[in-house]
Amino acid sequence: MAQLDTTEKLTILADAAKYDASCSSSGGKKRDSRGGKGMGSTTGGGICHAYAPDGRCISLLKILLTNSCIFDCHYCINRKSSNVRRARFTAKEVVDLTLDFYSRNYIEGLFLSSGIIHTPNYTMEQIVEVARSLREDHDFRGYIHLKTIPDADPELVAQAGRHADRVSINVELPTASGLRKLAPEKSETRIEGAMGTMRTAIEDGADARRRYRSAPRFAPAGQSTQMIIGADAATDRDIVARAATLYSRFALRRVYYSAFSPIPHASAVLPLKRPPLMREHRLYQSDWMVRFYSYTPDEVGAAVDPETGMLPLDIDPKLAWALRFREHFPVDVNRAPREALLRVPGLGPKAVRAILTARRWRRLRMEDIARLTVSVKKLRLFIITDDWKPVMLADRADLRTLAAPKAVQFELFAA
């Protein structure tokens, strides 16, 4: 590997990390340096986790320790056979960079991942050393998210959890067959085994903290994972089902969906085109339907096109579900329970809360709903108010046209 200075390494290794979408710090426990102890904080005014257009989370220092790798996953730009420029940080270089960037107020924390060098254990030791040094040598109290390596020794992975706020283990692909085809050196059994061990460790850690205030923290922001979308034949129905299983089996905080990006000198087993970015967006919306809108994964699965198994790209999955199951509408905003109101296209949890509060005092009219929501244009097709009732909803052939947003230029080019 050629001798590179820190700036050159940073250019290469920050760019290589942009394919990783798992960099939200939501759910992190509060830890700060008020009182003159240590430096950094996980929460507080001015902290936000924005995504740059190229996918990087710009409030964290988001880098790889190295983009060299002994594995050869077909979809990965850093795979062994890829002809990219390689670079590698030492653990101390990452520690120094993090502290330097933090002191300059560039970042609120660190997101660290890595290609696998020498062995999974050796790589994991280096990742853990960065977090250990930041926490123990420098009393760093900012946010740390570590990508862990499922093949590494469980004790090393546990050490990562002791220093990091969040840990993640990528399932990589939605199906076992996709993983076998595109990442043959990885194993679904080993990945899920590591996620199961991590779940137990996180729950034990939380339990110990409940009983003893002095018990050490263990990954207080939980674990997450990432799936690559569009590199294999998995349908949206497969992906929704897989995500639901992962949430329930491993108590994940987040499943991230990352649209596959064609890479230079790509393997012949990969598709030539990236999937529409809108597909990734629709999957995030379907994820929210299960996590915040009380839909079961099967119900979300019912919103897909029965023939293709894919969610529509031109309308959101909640609207797609409403159009398919019209018998559930219109919903009377003056009488319906919270669960039914949450299913109305255009109503989110905040608007539903406001409706439930307001209707305690008076019967709601369309003008009241207009004040409580961003727009009533779409949702008026699906609700009854004191002065409004849509007619023949279930029979209207043009309901989709009426409810769908007008196509905009960027969606034409999204594919």
Amino acid found at 269: V
Tokens (6 digits) for 44: 């507080």
Separation between Cα atoms, residue 244 and residue 291, nearest integer Å: 9
CB of 412 to ligand SF4, least distance (A): 32
Among 62, 79, 254, 380, binds ligand SF4 (CB under 6 A): 79
Nearest to ligand SF4 of 266, 404 (CB atom) = 266
> Does residue 23 sit in helix, strand or coil?
coil
Q: Quickly tell me which residue has 């769908």 as its tokens.
A: 404
Q: Quickly tell me which residue has 């004790």 as its tokens.
A: 155
Asked if residue 69 binds ligand SF4 (CB under 6 A), the reply is yes
The span of 39-47, 67-75, 264-272, 279-287 binding ligand SF4 (CB under 6 A) equals: 67-75
Nearest to ligand SF4 of 79, 217 (CB atom) = 79
Asked if residue 73 binds ligand SF4 (CB under 6 A), the reply is yes
Amino acid found at 252: L
Q: Quickly tell me which residue has 């994820």 as its tokens.
A: 287
Among 116, 191, 239, 315, binds ligand SF4 (CB under 6 A): 116
CB of 186 to ligand SF4, least distance (A): 7
Nearest to ligand SF4 of 172, 316 (CB atom) = 172
Tokens (6 digits) for 96: 């120094």
CB of 200 to ligand SF4, least distance (A): 24
Asked if residue 168 binds ligand SF4 (CB under 6 A), the reply is no
Tokens (6 digits) for 325: 């199951």
- Tell me which residues in 182-201 interact with ligand SF4 (CB under 6 A): 183
Angstrom CA distances, 413 to 129, 272, 275, 409, stand at 44, 17, 12, 7
The span of 74-82, 103-111, 253-261, 283-291 binding ligand SF4 (CB under 6 A) equals: 74-82
Asked if residue 242 binds ligand SF4 (CB under 6 A), the reply is no
CB of 5 to ligand SF4, least distance (A): 23
Nearest to ligand SF4 of 115, 317 (CB atom) = 115
Asked if residue 71 binds ligand SF4 (CB under 6 A), the reply is yes
Bridge partners, 331 (sequence order)? 383
142 φ/ψ angles, rounded to the nearest 5 degrees: -75, 180
Residue 393's Cβ-count burial label (10 Å; 0-12, 13-18, 19+) is: middle
Rounded to 10 degrees, the C-alpha dihedral 146/152/158/162 comes to -30
With CA atoms as reference, report the closest residue to 355 among 376, 379, 334, 386. Answer: 334
Asked if residue 76 binds ligand SF4 (CB under 6 A), the reply is yes
Residue 234's Cβ-count burial label (10 Å; 0-12, 13-18, 19+) is: buried
Separation between Cα atoms, residue 47 and residue 44, nearest integer Å: 6
CB of 71 to ligand SF4, least distance (A): 4
Among 115, 301, 312, 346, binds ligand SF4 (CB under 6 A): 115
Separation between Cα atoms, residue 331 and residue 176, nearest integer Å: 41
Asked if residue 369 binds ligand SF4 (CB under 6 A), the reply is no
CB of 149 to ligand SF4, least distance (A): 8
The span of 23-31, 70-78, 103-111, 247-255 binding ligand SF4 (CB under 6 A) equals: 70-78
CB of 116 to ligand SF4, least distance (A): 5
Tokens (6 digits) for 183: 């990442």
Nearest to ligand SF4 of 42, 170 (CB atom) = 170
Nearest to ligand SF4 of 31, 274 (CB atom) = 274
Among 25, 41, 42, 78, binds ligand SF4 (CB under 6 A): 78
Separation between Cα atoms, residue 337 and residue 326, nearest integer Å: 17
Asked if residue 181 binds ligand SF4 (CB under 6 A), the reply is no
> Does residue 366 sit in helix, strand or coil?
helix
The footprint of ligand SF4 (CB under 6 A) covers 69, 71, 73, 76, 78-79, 115-116, 183
